[in-house]
Chains A and B, each alone.
Chain A
């Protein structure tokens, strides 16, 4: 034992004094002084420290951090000599798990305890387990960007900070479900709210805020984000993160394995949120048409999540629907009436008849709208000069199956037009129907929509379609006043839509709200039947099919080149992109890659592909570690197999992405 001394008080063994600070890295911290020898085991030292502090407390999470070496002394059976610790070592006895504030993909802040001593890969895995996100290997942490806007500090305290720091997760077992959520969330109302925040999509952001947020204006701006990734093979402590720091949790690798709406509510939602913010902040570009689909999906998702229809509403087979409706109908009839009536009722399909104004654009005619008696039955629209002539031959009859229905509505101008583009063997015929008021418009519009899909007004979705149209019209009345006139207050959030919150700011500049709303509505009719999870999945799929999806940009300088270029890293390939023009110069696929080398001295990455193609570049915007981790990470992700389930080959990951910490 260290600390043997003679009667006179001199130490006779080779022991020396070791000073250990208690607490997190704080020079003022209290300290204890121990008598140790080089042969003392870390475990023994820990015991002595606890004895000396002499305080009743759970010390199990505490460990010693060696400040100079930036290293945890976690091997309790190692001796001080083995670690090379001498008396001048500055050691801190502190907790391994410390609170951090995570900024989630949905931009909400969450306080939780993260491991400061394990490699980041494991720390992220633990965080994801707590949040119940499967496949943590796809996520990682970023440093929060330096805050420039210190002035706006007043705004931040308003934000709700969710707290999971007190939740402790039993190790090993997968968290059981309790009341529809992982059991550890159901402890208190607070954690329950937290789970809802995690698993339900957030309402659209305030358009004004959206405009203020920084957006990348060029490819080189897009490289900025990627310089902030933390190193997955080192622990948070080693990377200079302190307790209470803000970190971003993001999906880093765009290769989403086995996405399952049933088992992954949180993962799906967070992925959806990341995709949405990517689009809203113009991290990824899309066309106008695509943006409208994204906006419609967001609107739909928001509507569903606010009305609490998280389960599986709608989306049943329309055919069955039909049958069921007819069935109940039939049943009622059967009670009293004769069978012929029954069959009549079965075959009778509700029809619309009314005077509408019709306009048929033709070449060389200047005729305007004319009043006609219009009968809409099944999927066929017929119009007559007047009601009296209705039994005779119509002026024209159009089968709306497969037609295009475009709303042309201006609520404030009391204009309710339906533009129909009806296919026929000769081509498309255009026809405009002008309705008198919202009610009429909604009924006819809903009928046209169903007919274009080959369904009749007997379809069970007719009523809801009418309601949806009316709801949208009322939105236009409130939200469509014009730019800058945004609806405010609780009323607005109930209404659910300000089109500016759903599209990227460049579309806000391009279109007026009242121009956007009908286009979003038009796109919405194609997605209106989706359930929440389906809609989110659809959103993610549409995001994935964008050509620029999943490319992480890094600025590099290729060997032999005199100018900086962009290297795009995707899940299956590397792309060399011209910095100025943005054109793809060359693509290399990982499947042809033989090996890659990193020279940490000169910060160069060299890659060899099949057929002796060699590529070497040095990294400019981010460290070459980040490029290296991206490549290794994607190779790792491609080795995943369903058979292996969720267990991770962490060693393989670290081998493929690590390697530099030795220096």
Chain B
């Protein structure tokens, strides 16, 4: 459950500033590594700054979401892939690991974790590429998979707000007769959740808080009042402090979502060019780095060698 999950302990932060600090740190680390690599012609300006990384991140995140929506067979909507992508680039720079590969690896890993069984060939079959291109992509995905798991600190279970949303709708229907038809809130609440997935909301608030905000927001849009739900059904009538804190979180969250905008195409292209140049210059060959040299397993040697006995062997005795 969420309350004793690794997500709550390690991947939920208090303020947006903390997240920005981490990303800045990742950016700085790569820049200093690049500058000190001693390669000729490297200067500060060829690296991406934090703003440019953000632009590219949003672009690739949108592509990840589109990839998951267009996936055949139909991938269940879970938000795990998006969360992996977000967590990975919290501590790593886009300049070090190319977002295109990481995004596919995130989708691949989330299929496994969500128990949505696709074979790897089926997975890359969804890419718009030639057979050879698909195979190359698959190789890259498999190379990056362990890296991704490691950078997620092996915390693979992600709690998403979709089930809490269901729970709230059930609860509203059962305990809150003031609202006649909670079902009508579903569509706009789900839309809110999809938009929240493209912000840092998942790293700052618990999934139940996000779902509750979605419900209240869509009710407010429909012009319905729902304060009584919090005061009466949740028992917060006496607890003014918690109530005000909850309203505060909801305000912050809605602010985050309103502030999101899809980056413009020209901006994306300039940043992409810079990115490609950096990757061409500092390509990190993972195969070499992580000791994947001997692909053959070290098979446990049998204690006694297997021997075939025939009649001829006995003749020798």
Are A and B co-members of a single complex? Answer: no
Residues of A at under 8 Å CB distance from B?
none
Residues of B at under 8 Å CB distance from A?
none
